[in-house]
Structure 1
Amino acid sequence: MATAVPETESEHRYVEDDRVELQDSDAWDKLGYSFPTWRKWQILCVVFLIQISMNLNASMYANAVDSISENFGVSQQVARIPQMTFLVAYAFGCELWAPWSEEYGRWPIQQLSLFLVNIWQIPCAISKHYGTYVICRFLGGLSTAGGSVTLGVLADMWEPDDQEYAVAFLVLSSVGGSVVGAIIGGFVQQYKSLPWIFWTQLLVGGGVQLVHLVLNPETRATILLDREAKRRRKTGEDPNIYGPNEILGSKLSPKEFWTIFYRPFYMFFTEPIVLWLSLLSGFSDALIFTFLQSFQPVYKQWGFGTVGISLAFIPLLVGYILAYFSYLPSIHHFRKIRRRDPDRLKPEVRLWWLLFLAPLEAIGLFGFAWTSLGPSYGIPWIATMIFSTMVGIANYAIYQSSIDYMTAAYGPYAASATGGNDLARDFLAGIAALYSTPMYTNIPGRPLEYASTILACISVVVTIPIYVFYRKGPEIRAKSKFAQSIDQTREKSRKKRKSVSGPGGSTTKHIERV
């Protein structure tokens, strides 16, 4: 899930012949930033549902594996390939949709994405051939306009220093959707036939698309400015005013499209902060898809059936909710400080709460590993769930803090930085769909315990950079060609706000790079 950050406008209004560009300060009351608070959160709640729907699609397929294997005569490992193709395609689909949401607006792109994802559920539901699942799941993942667009909507309504509550809320939907899919999927698997795994996804996706169609407006600033400019010309209020896209053109050149698309990948491999935080976030997300496969052998020891195993995911959801509420006090505290003195806090402060929550990932995995010994050792099933709750807390915290930190550290390039984060999360989750079951069944000795122990050891290694970035982040950012100009840009923006007081207390033009 990527986010977006405003850029500052040029010093002078764009004028071409007798056409004058309408800027955000001229129509501030028409932009998403001026929506009433209740309206912003209503829009955000719909986006929350979109994120739940998308991630439910990613995880619910795991409940179809047994039936596909049996019905089409393939191994369970082969039956998991469509889950992998969906997630890997999802990783790239997020970045493919982002440029078009800038050109045509958030609303039509989200509607088109939801429509296509829903359409690809139908061939899966009526399929008579295994290959249909592979192809249509791949197309479904590629059709999913993920966080690059959903958090673009958020950035249309809140400025960077005001986004934290909204980002925390949307992160909850991003991590929670996979767990919701696992819980619902167990009931569908138990009481319905294979096609209903996909009909259920279609019903959820169709319902969400209808809600979005009815309740959510366009939020993209340039689109809203174009509309307002047309209205003013039509009424005669200002016959020479034109929107940004009307003057500058709304068509992306191939070079612009390529730049927007490839930059997340470039930053992923060249920026240490982006690389390590993305790997950490990707590893943490892959754990959930590992659990989708590992919970079955673990909880069968206590006699859990299909529904019982699906309900075993509830502690992860509890962990996410606890982590979400735990962030609110620190967000409130640091926002108060920034409002008194915008220069007092460095971006690294956004990692502060993660320093305390990140170790819960390793603790939770070690604890889950050795409480998986089962009832023969007198261990109650609730013990494993206590530790999986810790993993849920850490998973939410890692995603929330990494998104928040990269937004602050990379300014106008935050969309690309967090795009690398999304790429790692979805790609590694897709790979996890294939290795998790063999890992939990083929390791000699105690496969359940050793597999989770291996993951716990890896989690220790990948969380170390958090503490390095917290201490050495300014020095690392100083060597980044993307981050070097951020402080200068912010200083210019502050000077501009002091010299000219625009509507809403800001004269910056908000052009989100998503």
Structure 2
Amino acid sequence: MAPIPASSQTPDTITPAPIPAHTTTTDIELNPLPIQKPPSKKETTAADPFLVTFILPTDPHNPKDWPTGKKWAVTDVLSATGFNRIMVSTIMAPALPLISSELHMNSTESAMALSIYLLATAIGPLLIGPLSEVYGRKPILHASNVWFLVWNLVCGFANTKQVLIAARFLAGFGASAIYALASGVLGDVWRPEQRGKSLGVYLLIPLLGSAVGPIIGGFMAGRTTWRWMFWSTSIFQAIMIAVSFSVFDETHAPTILRKRARQLRRERNDGRYKTLEERLHDQHHRQCRAFTRPLRLLLTHPIIQINALISAFDYGILYIVLSTFSSLWTERYNVSVELSGLHYISIALGEILGSQVTAWLMDRHYARHASTSTSPTPNPESRLPLTLLGALLGPLGLFFYGWAAQYTPHWSIVDLGMLIASFGMQSNGMPMQAYIIETYPQHISSAAAAAQLLRSLTAFCFPLFAPRMYAVLGFGWANSTLAFAGLVLGVPAPLGLWWVGARLRGRMGSSY
């Protein structure tokens, strides 16, 4: 393989300097320029033939230059994988009384069996995100797929409550990979002008998971053993493993370049072929920095902190609703467990509509902003004004849902309130996700892992106090309190980032 001309930029942008006129990679290969001394950490010149990077204007090995069909293939694999892992998080909800009775669980233990899966998704990305930035997305995706399959099967065969709770935690650890990998892969292969469409298509299937889970679980609980909830999702997971092994290619650009550099060193028996990342830091240093990066981002970067708080609050509310929605219909509307699951369709429909409308608005807004901006690429803060739509609609829908559930009008009124609330939460989350992807292009998975820590903790904790909250305050005042808190948090914070985000990005330096 021919050595690749050097880049004048950082390895994370992976945009090399153009090859001088009348020069080919064959010329460089046959007549490499001698290097008298290793370049310093800040020296990168276009005349250096031993610096391995991508070729301009396009390189078929650069994921951002892949054919569109190949980009959609890896996106769809992640989407389908995410659907199954998210569905498993909620599929138990309608069957908890049956599982509790069979395995002799008290109310706290049954709630733990459901929510401990989410606790694992808080911890897993802190390890899995950095691993994907050190060893690449592909091996981490395959390993987590197999891990999740094994422990999800154990859940189906569990005969004691201890085994079920432990297996749910370990299955959740494997499932958590999707939260770290999804943003990273989407950032790897799609350019900013395609951000809305790629996020919209990716989210289309996983968003169904959290709502379809209780629907499937309700029918299985009523017609067969609860164990088929885990056996059926394990069968689907086995199919997805086979598909991912055949379709998913490595998308992490630094990993691709490191592999290219190793091949050149082996073929030429010349240790000078290196990526800029390899020149700046040895492997041990890269690993040490990588594995502490998510926590460092969460503790020291206000951009991550604000994003994590907003998304965590919305996620916690979503799981309050998911964990109590079935009992609302069975206890206050006196419908069967099977029919109660059908009402989760309103939540899924709101999220799907929110994702598709917001995706269209994001790309349209970006194109208009790019046409009027003085810089070639609009800054990441241009994404933030779109969060206001969701920041207002989410609390409005939650308020509507709460008082409708309090006075039990026709069921469609309650479902409409939840549709508006889930639409708003999704519309709020997507621009914030795009903002993080474009603010941390080199370390997207670590940034996503940092935010996911708080998201999963609220999803784990909020449902634990939800029954008591509704018992004391009722659906009306309980949801109104959450709606007011959502307004206080969701409106000022993005506006603040819009004003000071550029200055905060300028101060980040090498802290990550």
TM-score (norm 1): 0.81
Change (3 A) 1:274 1:22: closer
Q: How does 1:23-422 map to 2 (within 5 A)?
A: 23-25=53-55, 28-144=59-175, 145-160=177-192, 162-225=194-257, 228=260, 242=273, 244=275, 252-253=283-284, 256-300=286-330, 301-327=332-358, 328-338=360-370, 341=373, 343=375, 345-375=378-408, 379-410=409-440, 412=442, 415-422=445-452
1 CA distance for matches of 2:426 and 2:148? Answer: 26
Match of 1:501 in 2: none
Quick one: which amino acid aligns to residue 439 of structure 1? Answer: M
Change (3 A) 1:386 1:485: same
Moved more, 321-330 or 90-99: 321-330
Q: Measure how far apart 1:290 and its partner are.
A: 1.0
Match of 1:472 in 2: 499
Change (3 A) 1:245 1:86: farther
Change (3 A) 1:227 1:407: closer
2 CA distance for matches of 1:470 and 1:98? Answer: 25
2 CA distance for matches of 1:112 and 1:416? Answer: 18
Q: Measure how far apart 1:362 and its partner are.
A: 1.1
1 CA distance for matches of 2:85 and 2:461? Answer: 18
2 CA distance for matches of 1:199 and 1:171? Answer: 25
Moved more, 343-352 or 145-154: 343-352
2 CA distance for matches of 1:74 and 1:89? Answer: 21
Change (3 A) 1:217 1:431: same
- Residue identity over aligned pairs, in percent, reads 22
Change (3 A) 1:261 1:164: farther
Quick one: which amino acid aligns to residue 283 of structure 1? Answer: F
Q: For 2:507, what is the secondary structure of its paired residue?
A: coil
Q: Measure how far apart 1:79 and its partner are.
A: 0.9
Change (3 A) 1:92 1:40: same
Residues 117 and 141, structure 1, Cα contact 8 Å, conserved in 2: yes
Q: For 2:50, what is the secondary structure of its paired residue?
A: strand
2 CA distance for matches of 1:65 and 1:251? Answer: 50
Quick one: which amino acid aligns to residue 266 of structure 1? Answer: R
Change (3 A) 1:139 1:258: farther
1 CA distance for matches of 2:169 and 2:353? Answer: 34
Aligned residues: CA RMSD? 3.2
State whether structure 2 residue 480 is matched by structure 1 residue 447.
no
- The count of aligned residue pairs is 469
Please give the per-residue CA displacement for 1:120-161, whole angstroms capped at 9, x wherever unaligned.
Answer: 012211111111122111112222312222322222222445
Residues 348 and 473, structure 1, Cα contact 8 Å, conserved in 2: no
Q: For 1:219, what is the secondary structure of its paired residue?
A: coil
Q: Measure how far apart 1:321 and its partner are.
A: 1.9
Q: How does 1:425-436 map to 2 (within 5 A)?
A: 425-436=455-466
Residues 364 and 391, structure 1, Cα contact 8 Å, conserved in 2: yes
Q: Measure how far apart 1:113 and its partner are.
A: 0.2
Please give the per-residue CA displacement for 1:287-337, whole angstroms capped at 9, x wherever unaligned.
Answer: 222112221232222332222221111111111222122221342232343
Quick one: which amino acid aligns to residue 457 of structure 1? Answer: F
State whether structure 2 residue 488 is matched by structure 1 residue 458.
no
Q: Measure how far apart 1:203 and its partner are.
A: 1.8
Moved more, 35-44 or 241-250: 241-250
1 CA distance for matches of 2:193 and 2:507? Answer: 19
Quick one: which amino acid aligns to residue 119 of structure 1? Answer: V
Residues 103 and 251, structure 1, Cα contact 8 Å, conserved in 2: no
Runs (5+) with no aligned partner, structure 2: 1-10, 16-41
2 CA distance for matches of 1:36 and 1:459? Answer: 41
Moved more, 225-234 or 344-353: 225-234
Change (3 A) 1:471 1:99: closer
